[in-house]
Amino acid sequence: MTLMDILDAAHESTQPSLVVLGSRGSIPVSGAKYTRFGGNTTSIAIEQDGLAATFIDAGTGINAYEEHGLVLSDQLSIFLTHYHWDHIQGLSMLGDMWGGDCIVEIWGSDDPKASLSGAIRPPWFPVSLAGQDNVFYRPIEGVVHRGSVQLTPFTVNHPGGALGYRIEGPGAVVLVVTDHEQVEGAVLKIPEGHVDVVIYDAQYLPSEMDGRRGWGHSSWKDATTFASEVDADRLILTSHDPGRSDDAIDAIVGAAQEMFPATEAARPGMRISL
Ligand SMILES: [Zn+2]
């Protein structure tokens, strides 16, 4: 083994990455037409030093971490974009959270404790989240550091309010905008600094937008416009509509590539180096 090999190995062990666990919007789906882009709702892990300790959102994708080869840390930080069902439902079935040995911090806007303990309790779930003394709630107000990764929240346009996150690692900056309706003429204000990769809400087709104004989602076309505006290298479409088959998502990616060539669609297991 040469010195370069050793340095490369050391670099690999510390290079964090994002791992997409769920990229479906609104409700989980399953079946033959959803095999490639998956059926689980939004969750993205950040793997550092071989452990998944940090997550963006806890849709049903979070429960699939083992499927994608991730090992859960015993100290979790879960950063929520908002409290709609499709972003929190995986929390209720995250076994480690109920174990007691795992310390879980849940970060979100306003009052994460009130929002979550009102949702995860009888009669909607057999057990109450309130009273779990290993779970801590952190209203997010600014930049948070987790290992070599810096997370900066920003406000997006979604019913009831929601956040996007700018995630800066040692090697790349990724902007995560899972649920956002781009209103014509409005500017999405993002934290300063360059952006390498944009993960952006593309739930609707441009032709569907007129009937769905105010629902809080964008089209793939809005996503390409935004990626161009921020001069990103790569665009990843997410929050796929629950009715959208793998083939329909392929067609969306094809159309989006005409406007922004480096476009892909988020799928479970997709890994992005930070
Ligand atoms: Zn929502």
Domains in the chain, please, with CATH?
Answer: 3-273 (3.60.15.10)
Which tokens in the block code for residue 201? 């809400």
Q: Edge-to-edge strands of the sheet including 234-238?
A: 144-146, 149-156, 162-168, 173-177, 197-201, 234-238, 263-265
pLDDT digits (tens, 9 = 90+) for 152-177: 999 999 999 999 999 999 999 999 99
Ligand 1 centroid vs 162 CA: distance in angstroms? 8
pLDDT at res. 271: 97
Ligand 1 centroid vs 241 CA: distance in angstroms? 12
Ligand 1 centroid vs 165 CA: distance in angstroms? 15
Q: Which residues surround ligand 1, an ion (CB under 5 A)?
A: 84, 179
Contact assessment for residue 181 and residue 162, using Cβ atoms and an 8 Å cutoff: no
Ligand 1 centroid vs 49 CA: distance in angstroms? 31
Cα gap 15→194, rounded to integer Å: 19
| Confidence band, pLDDT 50/70/90 cuts, at residue 8 | low
Percentage of the chain beyond pLDDT 90 is 87
What's the number of CA atoms in the CB half-sphere (13 Å) around residue 249? 29
pLDDT at res. 11: 46
Which of 192, 148, 146, 140 shows the shortest CA–CA distance to 166?
192
In the predicted model, what is the mean pLDDT of residues 64-80? 96
pLDDT at res. 5: 58
| Position 2 pLDDT exceeds 70 | no
In the predicted model, what is the mean pLDDT of residues 32-46? 98
Ligand 1 centroid vs 157 CA: distance in angstroms? 10
pLDDT digits (tens, 9 = 90+) for 115-144: 999 999 999 999 999 889 999 999 999 999
Contact assessment for residue 271 and residue 19, using Cβ atoms and an 8 Å cutoff: yes
Ligand 1 centroid vs 15 CA: distance in angstroms? 31
pLDDT at res. 98: 84
In the predicted model, what is the mean pLDDT of residues 8-15? 58
Ligand 1 centroid vs 141 CA: distance in angstroms? 20
In the predicted model, what is the mean pLDDT of residues 60-76? 96
| Position 248 pLDDT exceeds 60 | yes
Q: What is the chain's mean pLDDT, rounded?
A: 93
pLDDT digits (tens, 9 = 90+) for 254-267: 999 999 999 999 99
pLDDT digits (tens, 9 = 90+) for 180-225: 999 888 889 999 999 999 999 999 999 998 889 989 999 999 999 9
Q: Edge-to-edge strands of the sheet including 103-108?
A: 135-139, 103-108, 72-79, 51-56, 43-48, 17-22, 271-273
Position 154, amino acid? F
Whether pTM exceeds 0.75: yes
Ligand 1 centroid vs 93 CA: distance in angstroms? 20
Cα gap 84→179, rounded to integer Å: 10
